[in-house]
Amino acid sequence: MTSTDINHDAIIIGGGFYGAAIAIYLAKQRGFKRVVLIEREAGLLRRASYNNQARVHNGYHYPRSFTTAYRSRVNLPKFVRDWPAAVTQDFTKLYAIARRNSKVTAKQFVRFCKEIGAKIEPVEPALRALFEPRLIEDVFLVEEYAFDSKKLASWAVKELQDCGVQIRLQTRVTAISSGPNQILQVALKPEGGSEELLTSRYVFNCTYSGLNQFKGDFAGTQTGLKQEITEMALMQLPPALQDLGLTVMDGPFFSMMPFQARGLHTLSHVRYTPHMHWKDEQGIDPYQKLNQYDRATRVDRMVRDVGRYLPAVLDAKYVDSLFEIKTVLVKNEGDDGRPILFEKHTELPGCYSVLGGKIDNIYDVLEKLDGESFVLVETTV
Ligand SMILES: Cc1cc2nc3c(=O)[nH]c(=O)nc-3n(C[C@H](O)[C@H](O)[C@H](O)COP(=O)(O)OP(=O)(O)OC[C@H]3O[C@@H](n4cnc5c(N)ncnc54)[C@H](O)[C@@H]3O)c2cc1C
């Protein structure tokens, strides 16, 4: 093979939920044949697609971003339809509104839920009694689900195999460059191996936190990104809280969700979950930064604060923590919105960068891809 031959119809960089779903889409819906998926970890869906709060959003979380709330409402039923085995619905989901420091009042929250058409009901007294009334204005029963990231990973492995997508694990893409005749050249480095070059007309950069860490002709994303080292505590909850998911809105509060993949609950806190953050730039490898971070847990501070609002949490048992890089768009810092990033690189025609922001946004990405026309050419090996 020479670097002027095309040896793949598409090269997907990043074996998280997005890379896997896009590879499957190209193979199944768009007739791509030789598709390769390259992942630096030893398995698929091991990074953000595993280390997250597993919430299938239904809009409630986004009173400051109507578009994100609305898109969540549109996407949730599709997600439940397409991944029924990975979605858990059998828990009671509560949203509570804090009396102080909240960016939303109970009345405003109810109005917002009605505007986006999301179900919201008064909660029964026994559940309301879990919360400290001096700090919590109101509590509502809502409809929100959780996904099991292990099941999503099993789905990805099976579907990719069925579609004939080649998977290269423990392999890191280091550079993307443009070659002659609109061919893109992708340099990769398998762990313990020597550098290789793959070629294709199409490259999909689905690396989430790693989106800007390529050399070659890759100029980076136009959209500014913020990187955060985050901690979510994994808790064994006392019986009173075990069948619940709950979120206190909207400010420096907290959230607890079932984490099916470990049979535990995640506890996140707006003040303590983000440990540090920086503006993303080429050359500051977020994965390396996390590896070098000391990961001292802040669970004590989380539990102490949450215990003021929800005393039963003081009986929870801490198991361990999920540390991960969270990558968000700088422009959404104020409104907490989670739109997708979908960029076509003018310096590298045929190269796309994609960031989903949350799991159900996959439909927004696939909609964008539906609008793209792809030219498939004969590949050589
Ligand atoms: C703390 C936290 C809480 C969250 N909570 C929720 C939630 O409750 N609900 C929700 O819907 N979403 C949530 N999210 C967001 C959600 O996790 C992401 O939107 C989603 O997982 C992104 O999927 P992805 O495939 O783009 O990223 P990833 O799963 O991170 O996949 C990217 C992959 O690319 C690989 N990679 C990176 N660089 C390279 C390279 N150079 N070469 C080869 N491979 C590379 C990585 O190893 C990784 O596997 C949360 C995220 C975090 C961090």
For the chain, 381 residues long, give each residue's pLDDT as a single digit of tens. 455 588 999 999 999 999 999 999 999 999 999 999 999 999 999 999 999 999 999 999 999 999 999 999 999 999 999 999 999 999 999 999 999 999 999 999 999 999 999 999 999 999 999 999 999 999 999 999 999 999 999 999 999 999 999 999 999 999 999 999 889 999 999 999 999 999 999 999 999 999 999 999 999 999 999 999 999 999 999 999 999 999 999 999 999 999 999 999 999 999 999 999 999 999 999 999 999 999 999 999 999 999 999 999 999 999 999 999 999 999 998 888 999 999 999 999 999 999 999 999 999 999 999 999 999 987 665
Residue-level pLDDT at 1 = 43
Q: Is 31 left (phi over 0), alpha (psi -120 to 50) or beta?
A: left
| Residue type present at position 373 | S
**Burial bucket for residue 197 (CB in 10 Å: 0-12, 13-18, 19+):** middle
Separation of 2 CA from ligand 1 center, angstroms? 33
Separation of 118 CA from ligand 1 center, angstroms? 27
Separation of 17 CA from ligand 1 center, angstroms? 7
53, 150, 325, best to mutate for ligand 1 pocket (most atoms within 8 Å of CB): 53
Domains and CATH numbers, the chain: 10-47+150-220+345-370 (3.50.50.60), 66-147+224-332 (3.30.9.10)
45, 93, 298, 358, best to mutate for ligand 1 pocket (most atoms within 8 Å of CB): 358
Separation of 38 CA from ligand 1 center, angstroms? 14
Separation of 359 CA from ligand 1 center, angstroms? 9
* Atom 3 (ligand 1) nearest CA: 52
Give the pair of three-digit tokens for residue 182. Answer: 């609109």
Separation of 285 CA from ligand 1 center, angstroms? 15
**Burial bucket for residue 37 (CB in 10 Å: 0-12, 13-18, 19+):** buried
Reference 258, options 56, 123, 62, 114; nearest CA is 56
Query: Which atom number of ligand 1 is nearest to the Cα of residue 49?
Result: 21
Q: What is the DSSP string of 230-269?
A: EEEEEEE--HHHHTEEEEEESSS-EEEEEEGGGTEEEEEE
| Residue type present at position 199 | T
Question: What residues are paired with 185 via a beta bridge?
Answer: 177, 199
* Atom 4 (ligand 1) nearest CA: 52
Buried residues in 64-98 as b, exposed as e (16+ CB within 10 A): bbeebbbbbbebbeebbeebeebbbeebebbbbbb
Reference 89, options 118, 55, 121, 61; nearest CA is 55
Instruction: Outline where the chain has alpha helix (H).
Output: 17-29, 66-82, 106-116, 125-128, 149-163, 239-242, 286-292, 299-309, 362-370
Separation of 294 CA from ligand 1 center, angstroms? 21
Residue-level pLDDT at 262 = 97
Which residues' Cβ are closer than 6 Å to ligand 1? 13-19, 38-41, 45-49, 51-55, 57, 172-173, 206-208, 210, 213, 230, 232, 324, 326, 355-360
* Atom 31 (ligand 1) nearest CA: 16
Query: Which atom number of ligand 1 is nearest to the Cα of residue 207?
Result: 34
Q: How far apart are CA 194 and CA 65, in angstroms?
A: 46
Residue-level pLDDT at 91 = 98
| Residue type present at position 50 | Y
* Atom 13 (ligand 1) nearest CA: 358
Give the pair of three-digit tokens for residue 368. Answer: 């964008």
Separation of 310 CA from ligand 1 center, angstroms? 30
Query: Which atom number of ligand 1 is nearest to the Cα of residue 360?
Result: 11
Separation of 378 CA from ligand 1 center, angstroms? 33
HSE, CB side, 13 Å, CA atoms: give it for residue 6: 22
pTM beyond cutoff 0.95: yes
3-class DSSP assignment, residue 224 = coil
12, 207, 325, best to mutate for ligand 1 pocket (most atoms within 8 Å of CB): 207
* Atom 35 (ligand 1) nearest CA: 14
Residue with tokens 């890089």: 325
Buried residues in 100-128 as b, exposed as e (16+ CB within 10 A): eebebbbeebbebbeebebebeebeeebb
Question: What residues are paired with 87 via a beta bridge?
Answer: 147
Separation of 5 CA from ligand 1 center, angstroms? 32
Q: Residue 302's CB: how many other CB atoms inside 10 A?
A: 24
Residues 6+ apart with CB under 8 A from 212: 220, 221, 225, 280, 281, 282
Q: How far apart are CA 369 and CA 326, in angstroms?
A: 24
Residue with tokens 């998911």: 245
Residue with tokens 């361990």: 320
3-class DSSP assignment, residue 287 = helix
